[in-house]
Structure 1
Amino acid sequence: MAAEAKRLKVDDGLGRLQDFLQWCDKVGLVLSKKVCVTTEGTVADYGMVAKEDIEEGEVLFTIPRSDLLDQETTKVSALLKKEKSSLESSSGWVPLLLALLYESTSSQSHWKPYLSLWPDFKALDHPMFWSKEERDKLLKGTGVPEAVAKDLSNIQREYRDVVLPFMTRHPELWNPHTHTLELYTQLVAFIMAYSFQEPQEEEEDDDDEEQENKASSPPMMVPMADMLNHISSHNANLEFNPDSLKMVSLRAIRKGEEVFNTYGQMANWQLLHMYGFTEPYPDNNNDTADIPISCLYQAAKQDIQSDAEQQLFKERLEVLCQLMQENGAVVFGKRGCLTESELHAALKLLCMSQDEFSEFKDNEGWEEDDEDEEKISQAFSNEGLPDLKASWKRLIHEAARLTLRSYGDAEMESDRLLMEDEAARKGLSSRQWRALQVRFGQKMILHRLLELTAS
């Protein structure tokens, strides 16, 4: 099965599509004769389909960099550059958001045929547009409600403290009555769902930490590229060149087959949070489930029987909090733990005897290269989990059980019946269906973990 539709369109979307394709031809966007953008035969209302057989490595379309919509190409780019220092924010998106506020409400915008594909941006249905009650009920335990709450808080603060003062200084270009917080929030979702970021070039002498600390490229809107839908087993990829961007086939694509891009290795909860859609279970090979570190703490605490053990646990916990974020999590995928180094360190520390912990403190930690990374990775894979130490398996097992309890009233069996009952599924709203995909995928990973760590 392919991905669920990521966007909803209004009835006259076909006319807007034709206007957009004419604009593409006018600005020099070159579309291969072997593909077409259509509303038929795609998983979403719009998508790209092969009209002829396509071989691996063929260019499906090329767009000049001058037709990308970003803070450098917008009509207000000079002003954004001049006042760059006043537009800094935690997201780094304010310049593009101001450009979109201007371009989406300007009748003379160069990108009007492109932006007209989203008449008022209200078709976007990210969880940030659901009511809090709906998020909490449908997505409890998945991590999505917490991520959305953080997003909405940041958006409101950014609009109030950065965007509104800037617009007030430039009333000839922006109007707070037109460029409202509601529109700003919709455009944040638009960027989340449709923007691209240019990959950072890795330099040979940069280590992993230096790569992580490098500032990421600002987002950009790439007309045509965002018409392609996503699945994890995609068949095309966007290439960034000095003068243009190109979508290139990764394998042979047969006539009538849809062309899919990828948004990265993303779990269903991330796809729903960032893009407003999910991949049908069990198609998403990148699906994950988080076990909060707090559940590991709680599981370890259950063994405490004396004051001495309580004190030892407290001391170990203090050290562990220095090594890992208190609100962090260990992540499990379909093939095992994806954060095996963090889980390995936590289990070693939480299961130490008094003598081992004293030696650990005396040595100020573990000796370097204490254990081989490849061996650790294997140990926490699905194949290796059953052979872990009994104490480690018990902690993982109990932490997984506690995590499952955090999903609340949505029981595993009731979710399973919904997944298997086609008639019952038809009675679900699109939001209920997407939330079910997220919940069920996570629960299946956790239940598999319970089986692998059972005594």
Structure 2
Amino acid sequence: MATDAKRAKITLDGKTDAFDPLKIFLSWCDSVNLTLSDKVCLSKDGTVAEYGMLAKEDIEEGHVLFSIPRETLLHQGTTEIKKVLEDGMKSLESGSGWVPLLLALLYEYTSPHSHWKPYLSLWPDFGTLDHPMFWSEEERDKLLKGTGIPEAVKSDLEKLHAEYNDIVLPFMKSHPDLWDPEKHNLELYKRLVAFVMAYSFQEPVDDDDEDDEEKAPSPPMMVPMADMLNHISKHNANLEYTPDCLKMVAVRRIEKGEEVFNTYGQMANWQLLHMYGFSEPFPTNVNDTADVQMSSVYEAAMQVTQSKTDKQLLSDKWKMLGEMEIVGEKGVFIFGQSGSLTYSELYTTLKVLCMSRQEFEEFRENEGWEDDEGDEDDKMEQALNFERLMELKTEWKRLLHAAVRLTLNSYSEDVETDRRLLEDQEALAKLSSRERRALHVRYGQKSILQRLEQLTKPED
């Protein structure tokens, strides 16, 4: 089954004229020394999206598909208003770190003389962006309840509005010769935020630099041509960063006629839909995950706790787990295709919540595990795949099972309803693109949770 289009892109279809946006873009690429291999072409036929990149002939691993000079990248350091942004950098600090790039895009996108106009003209109104942030709240709740996306979008929109009103708008008003709030309004800003979410790249931080101190992520940048490629988890190309340029390189042999795919990283379907506006069809996303809220484990434990004294003990255990930074109010336990991805946090939480009063008092007094016991725990918590989860103590499995049930019950539809819809090709074809993408997200999560539920089911 073909993946829903990541986004619509304007491309060369063999019948172009002098005003074709992509033809103008490709001419611009030549003028800025952005080199495209003769072994690939842009096409709307034979791709998972409306447009994409195809191999015109067999391509060997290591072949450079295209190369982009660093001066051709669009970011706050290359924009025409670089000096203004540098001078105002302190006032442009924000939680996202995106404000300088977004101000640069507001200016360059609306400037008729922008150096990047041939590139930015590929998105005449950003109307093809279809992130859940553009869906109605009712539609998000109906199609995506339980997936975590509605909550993420709500948080995004609150931060976006505050960022625009508190940082961007005052800065634009202080530079009326560059920005006009009537033209550079909140709606355009919102579209550009989605544009950056879906199309920008961040250069990897070199882990070998200096010491192991946590490093701030590099600011996002727009990379012409690289954003023309679609994504799948089993990709065949990867973007490499060098001091002089960025190169898209084949990471395996690509057959003639095969689509060239980049990767955005190991991303679950809910992340792809939230950040990029598309999802991979179930079950093709090998990086798909499902979350169990940490609070759901606590809620499940509290539901089977009877006495007031035991409830207080459970509360004390949860408080200590929070102090140890094992759990958090909005934290989640993440499960992938093979088992727990947050195995250390999960193992510690289950163990502490299932401790007897005496065991917990000793644990609290020792401020953690005894050395010998810790060694044994390390062996278990480092391999909490689905098979190993079956070996957990009965009480632990019962608690996890109850938390998974609470999670499954948080979705609008049960897993079997979604499964039947996914298998009914006629009904599936009648779904809108939003409904179809949401279905793949929901069912991917539910399939992982259902397996976890079955493996932790208490014995009769």
What TM-score does the superposition give when structure 2 sets the normalisation length? 0.95
Distance 1:36 1:84 in 2: 40
Quick one: which of 391, 403, 406 aligns to 1:402?
A: 406
Match for residue 149 of structure 2?
Answer: 144
Pair 1:383-2:387 in alignment:
yes
Quick one: which of 349, 360, 377 aligns to 1:357?
A: 360
Distance 2:329 2:206 in 1: 32
Distance 1:205 1:84 in 2: 25
Contact 1:3–1:230 under 8 Å retained in 2: no
Distance 2:334 2:35 in 1: 42
- Cα drift, residue 77 of structure 1: 0.7
The AA in structure 2 aligned to 1:359 is: E
The AA in structure 2 aligned to 1:403 is: T
Distance 2:10 2:60 in 1: 34
Contact 1:114–1:223 under 8 Å retained in 2: yes
Distance 1:234 1:64 in 2: 23
Map 1:434-453 to 2 at 5 A: 434-453=437-456
Note the alpha carbon deviations across 1:20-59, whole angstroms, 9 max, x for none: 1111111100111111122221111221110111001111
- Cα drift, residue 366 of structure 1: 2.3
In structure 2, the residue corresponding to 1:196 is in which secondary structure?
A: coil
Contact 2:11–2:44 under 8 Å retained in 1: no
- Cα drift, residue 306 of structure 1: 2.0
Pair 1:79-2:84 in alignment:
yes
- Cα drift, residue 12 of structure 1: 9.6
The AA in structure 2 aligned to 1:187 is: L
- Cα drift, residue 318 of structure 1: 1.4
The AA in structure 1 aligned to 2:171 is: F
Number of residue pairs the alignment of both structures matches: 449
Contact 1:236–1:259 under 8 Å retained in 2: yes
Distance 2:451 2:140 in 1: 26
Pair 1:239–1:9, CA change in 2 (3 A): closer
The AA in structure 2 aligned to 1:25 is: D
Pair 1:233–1:271, CA change in 2 (3 A): same
Note the alpha carbon deviations across 1:337-383, whole angstroms, 9 max, x for none: 100011011111100101101101111222465446453132x2012
Query: Identity of paired residues, percent?
Result: 62
In structure 2, the residue corresponding to 1:383 is in which secondary structure?
A: helix
Note the alpha carbon deviations across 1:183-230, whole angstroms, 9 max, x for none: 0000000000000000000127744xx2xx311000000000000000
Distance 1:281 1:134 in 2: 21
Contact 1:34–1:51 under 8 Å retained in 2: yes
Note the alpha carbon deviations across 1:382-437, whole angstroms, 9 max, x for none: 121111110111111110001000113x1222211110011101111111111111
In structure 2, the residue corresponding to 1:221 is in which secondary structure?
A: coil
Pair 1:195-2:200 in alignment:
yes
Distance 1:290 1:3 in 2: 23
Pair 1:346-2:363 in alignment:
no
Match for residue 303 of structure 1?
Answer: 304
Pair 1:205–1:170, CA change in 2 (3 A): closer
Unaligned segments of structure 1, at least 5 residues: none
Contact 1:2–1:231 under 8 Å retained in 2: no
The AA in structure 1 aligned to 2:37 is: S
Distance 1:102 1:141 in 2: 38
Distance 1:154 1:371 in 2: 44
The AA in structure 1 aligned to 2:200 is: S
Quick one: which of 92, 95, 99 aligns to 2:104?
A: 99
Distance 2:7 2:210 in 1: 42
User: Which moves more between the two structures, 12-21 or 138-147?
Assistant: 12-21
The AA in structure 2 aligned to 1:289 is: A
- Cα drift, residue 11 of structure 1: 10
Distance 1:286 1:4 in 2: 17
What TM-score does the superposition give when structure 1 sets the normalisation length? 0.96
Contact 2:4–2:278 under 8 Å retained in 1: yes
- Cα drift, residue 17 of structure 1: 1.4
Match for residue 295 of structure 2?
Answer: 294
Match for residue 329 of structure 1?
Answer: 332
Pair 1:414-2:410 in alignment:
no
Distance 1:373 1:38 in 2: 51
User: Which moves more between the two structures, 172-181 or 310-319?
Assistant: 310-319
Quick one: which of 385, 392, 399 aligns to 2:396?
A: 392
Pair 1:24–1:12, CA change in 2 (3 A): closer
Pair 1:205–1:109, CA change in 2 (3 A): closer
